[in-house]
Copies of this chain bind each other. A is one copy, B any other.
Amino acid sequence: MRLTRAGEYGIRCVLHLARHGKGTLVSRKEIAVRTDVPTHFLAKIAQQLSRAGIIEILQGANGGYRLLADPSEITLLSVIEAIIGEISLNDCVGRPESCHNSTLCSVHRIWNKANQQLRATLQETDFATLASEDACCLTPFPEADGHNRPIEKK
């Protein structure tokens, strides 16, 4: 009953992009370092976010990721579900056919209710709000010009 790391990392990634605003290109490396996510793992997560239409991926030198929508339009729920699929607290919520009793089951109804409630809470939250309220995900953002600059030369 907990979020996977991939899901958590996806949120961090979008949140970091949200702090730069819609359309600003940020390198994978910077995101990875700033949000403490393994670089190659981030690559996979980004691909899922890309398929979901949340970010755009630019290849090549000076490539990176950028948000396709304004942070205020992106909900926590959409990011999470882009990574881990639709939230389902019990198997029978997402796949009622997995239990032949689901049409009669009183517990099933509770799960449906709780599941809907949870999804609603996550949908109410957008990334503009998240980005504005305090710092999240590690080191404060040092430069204010929105330019993508590596933190440290290697």
Q: Is A107 within 8 A of B121, CB to CB?
A: no
**How many protomers of this protein does the assembly include?**
2
Q: Is B122 within 8 A of A114, CB to CB?
A: yes
Size band of the A side of the interface?
A: 35 or more
Q: Is B3 within 8 A of A76, CB to CB?
A: no
Stretch at the interface among A37-45, A65-73, A83-91: A83-91
Separation of A92 and B125 alpha carbons in the complex (Å): 18
Q: In chain A between 102 and 139, which residues have their CB closer than 8 angstroms to a CB of chain B?
A: 104-111, 113-114, 117-118, 121-122, 125, 129-131, 133-138
In this assembly, does A13 line the interface, its C-beta being within 8 Å of a C-beta of chain B?
no
Q: Is A133 within 8 A of B106, CB to CB?
A: yes
In this assembly, does A74 line the interface, its C-beta being within 8 Å of a C-beta of chain B?
no
Separation of A91 and B3 alpha carbons in the complex (Å): 7
Q: Is B1 within 8 A of A89, CB to CB?
A: yes
In this assembly, does A54 line the interface, its C-beta being within 8 Å of a C-beta of chain B?
no
CB distance from A141 to the nearest CB of B (A): 13
Q: Is B101 within 8 A of A137, CB to CB?
A: yes
Contact sample, A vs B, 11 pairs, CB 8 Å cutoff: A1-B1, A1-B4, A1-B88, A2-B88, A3-B91, A8-B90, A15-B107, A101-B137, A101-B138, A106-B134, A110-B122
